[in-house]
Amino acid sequence: MAKKKNTKANALWGGHFSAGPAAAFAEINPSIDVDQRLYREDIQGSLAHVEMLAAQKIISAKDAASISKGLKQIQAEIESGKFTFTPALEDIHMHIEARLSELIGAVAGKLHTARSRNDQVATDLRLYSRHALRALDAALRELQAALLVQAEQHTATILPGMTHLQPAQPILFAHHLLAYVEMFQRDRTRLEDAGLRMNESPLGAAALAGTTYPIDRARTAKALGFAAPMRNSLDAVSDRDYVIEILAALSLVAMHLSRLAEEMIFWSNPLVGFIRLSDAFTSGSSIMPQKRNPDAAELIRGKSGGIIGALSALLITMKSLPLAYNKDMQEDKRAYFHALDETLLMLAAMTGMVADMRVHKDTMRRAASRGFLNATDLADWLVQTLAIPFREAHHLTGKLVLLAEKKKCGLEELSLKEMQTVHPKITRDIYHALALENCVARRKSEGGTAPERVRAAIATAKKEYL
C-alpha cells in the first residue's frame, strides 16, 4: 500500500505549501522539547517588542494592549501546566503565537511585524543565558563557601603535598582547598565576563537584514536590560559565540570539578584514608559489604567529559555556517541546556560532598611524616646555615635520605652523628628545621602554605569572593 501523503501544510509559514511534512521531517524539524524552557524569555521579548511597536505607531495602542494581555495569559497557562505542547507547532515561538491567535484572534498576527524568529530566538537565548549565568555564579559561590568552611577548620592540618602524585613537601590542608577556591573564582570571573560581552540586543535585526518599519531598537534593548542594540543585523541573528564562550567557561568549571573529584576519590580510598565521604554522597556494593564507593565524585569526573563535549559539538556545528541564520543552529540549545543543567548539578553535588566530608587529620599527619617531605628543608638548612651551595646541599641530603631509607626511619630520626657523616659542621639545630610544623611555618612567601599566610588568604577570600 502506498504511503498517504500528508496534505496539511503549516499554518504559520505554509502559505505556499500544498503538502505537509514527511514523517521523518516532522520528527527532525521541531525543537519544542528543548526550547519550551525559553517561554518566559520569549514572552518577555514579545512584550518589549509589542510595546515598542505601539510607541512607534506601527500598531495601535489597543492592539498592543490586547496582545500583551494575551501573552501574559499564556505565561500563566504555561506556568500552571495547562498549556499543551505539540511537535506540530515546531518551537516555542510558534506555540506562543498560535495560542495567542486562539485567544485574541487575528490581531495576534500583528505581533510578528518587524520581527523574525531569527532575532527572536537570538534574543531569547541571550536573556536565558543571563539568568543561567546568575545561577552558575551563585552555585560556584556556594562551593567556595563550603571549601572555605573546611579550610577554616584545617589551618593546622598537615598533609603531604604532591608533585607527580608522589609525596613532595608538607602543606596545610586549608592551603590545598584554597587552591580550588581560586580556580572557582577565576571561573566566576570568566562567566561574568562572557555575560558582559553578550549583553547586547539582537532584537530588531529581523530575519537578517533589518526591517522597513520605523522600529526603535534602543527602546527594546533598554526594556530588556541590554546595554545597547547589536550593531550588525547579520551578526545579531547568526552568531552563537556567547553560547560557545559560556560553554568554554563551563568546560573549565567541569575540569576543575573533575580534578577535585579525582582528589576526593583518592583521599577517600581506604588505602589513603585522608577523608571519609558521607553516606549521603556514596553508595555501597550489592556484593561487597565493606564498600563505600565515591559515586558522586566519580559522576562529577565522568560528566565533565559531556560538558567539554558540548563545547566541541557547538564549535563544530558553527564553524562552517555561512551567514546568516541556518537551521543547524537550532541544535545549539540541546547541548547548551544540557551542559548548563549538568554543571549546576555537579556543583550542587560537589558542594554537598565538600560540606559533608570528614577529615582525618591524624592520618594526613602520619602520611606527611613518611616519604622525607622535609628533605628540601634539610638542604635549605645546609645552604642557609653552612653556606653550602644548593646543588651540593641537595647531594648531601640525598645521601642522608639513602641512609634513612636503609634504617627505615625519618630524616629527623637520624642521630646527630649520622647527620655529621655527610658534613661535620651539622649541629643539633637541624632538628628544628626538620619538624613538619616548622617546614610549613617557614613557607611564608606570598601565596605560600605558612599558617599566617593561609589564615590571611581565607580572610581575603571570604571578604572578596563570598
Catalytic residue numbers, as ranges? 164, 285
Q: Write the CB contacts of 335 (distance below 8 Å, at least 6 apart in sequence).
A: 247, 309, 310, 313, 314
121 or 249: CB nearest ligand ARG: 121
Task: Tell the residue number behind the cell numbers 510578528, with chain if given.
Answer: 112
Asked if 117 touches ligand ARG (CB under 6 A), the answer is yes
Residues 39-58 close enough to bind ligand ARG by CB under 6 A: none
Binding mask 373-412 for ligand ARG (x = CB under 6 A): ----------------------------------------
Residue 250 is which amino acid? L
Residues numbered 181 to 210 that lie near ligand ARG (CB under 6 A) are none
Binding of residue 35 to ligand ARG (CB under 6 A)? yes
Choose the binding region for ligand ARG from 17-25, 113-121, 179-187, 388-396 (rule: CB under 6 A).
113-121
Checking DSSP bridges between strand 166-172 and strand 158-163, what pairing results, if any? antiparallel
CB of 229 to ligand ARG, least distance (A): 19
* Distance of closest approach, residue 59 Cβ to ligand ARG, in angstroms: 22
Note whether 91 binds ligand ARG by CB under 6 A: yes
Query: For ligand ARG, how many residues bind (rule: CB under 6 A)?
Result: 10
Q: Which stretch binds ligand ARG (CB under 6 A): 116-124, 241-249, 381-389, 420-428?
A: 116-124
Stretch that binds ligand ARG, among 71-79, 117-125, 180-188, 367-375 (CB under 6 A): 117-125
Is 124 an interacting residue with respect to ligand ARG (CB under 6 A)? no
* Residue 17 to residue 25: CA distance in whole angstroms: 15
Q: Which is nearer to ligand ARG, 334 or 462 (CB)?
A: 334
Q: With beta carbons less than 8 A apart as the criterion, state whether 108 and 317 touch.
A: no
In the complex with ligand ARG, the residue whose CB is nearer, 121 or 367, is 121
Q: Choose one: 48-56, 191-199, 321-329, 448-456; the region binding ligand ARG (CB under 6 A).
A: 321-329
Contact with ligand ARG (CB under 6 A) among 129, 150, 317, 330: 330
Instruction: Report the residue number, 42 or 380, with the smaller CB distance to ligand ARG.
Output: 42
Cβ nearer to ligand ARG, comparing 25 with 390: 25
118 versus 251: smaller Cβ distance to ligand ARG: 118
| Distance in Å, CB of 123 to ligand ARG, minimum | 11
Rounded least distance, CB 92 to ligand ARG, Å: 8
State the binding string over 235-254 for ligand ARG (x if CB under 6 A, else -): --------------------
What would the grid cell of residue 181 be? 577556591
Nearer to ligand ARG among residue 328 and residue 362 (C-beta): 328
The 3-state secondary structure of the chain reads CCCCCCCCCCCCCCCCCCCCCCHHHHHHCCCHHHHHHHHHHHHHHHHHHHHHHHHCCCCCHHHHHHHHHHHHHHHHHHHCCCCCCCHHHCCHHHHHHHHHHHHHHHHHHHCCCCCCHHHHHHHHHHHHHHHHHHHHHHHHHHHHHHHHHHHHHCCCCEEEEEECCEEEEEEEHHHHHHHHHHHHHHHHHHHHHHHHHCCEECCCCCCCCCCCCCCCHHHHHHHCCCCEECCCHHHHHHCCHHHHHHHHHHHHHHHHHHHHHHHHHHHHCCCCCCEECCHHHCECCCCCCCCCECHHHHHHHHHHHHHHHHHHHHHHHHCCCCCCCCHHHHHHHHHHHHHHHHHHHHHHHHHHHHHHCEECHHHHHHHHCCCCCCHHHHHHHHHHHHCCCHHHHHHHHHHHHHHHHHHCCCHHHCCHHHHHCCCCCCCCCHHHHHCHHHHHHCCCCCCCCCHHHHHHHHHHHHHHHC
Of the candidate residues 118, 150, 258, 374, the single one contacting ligand ARG (CB under 6 A): 118
| Near ligand ARG in 4-33, by CB under 6 A | 31
- Give the range of 140-148, 224-232, 326-334, 382-390 binding ligand ARG by CB under 6 A: 326-334
Residue nearer to ligand ARG on the CB measure, 121 or 147: 121
With binding defined as CB under 6 A, does residue 329 bind ligand ARG?
yes
Interface residue list for ligand ARG (CB under 6 A): 31, 35, 91, 117-118, 121, 325, 327, 329-330
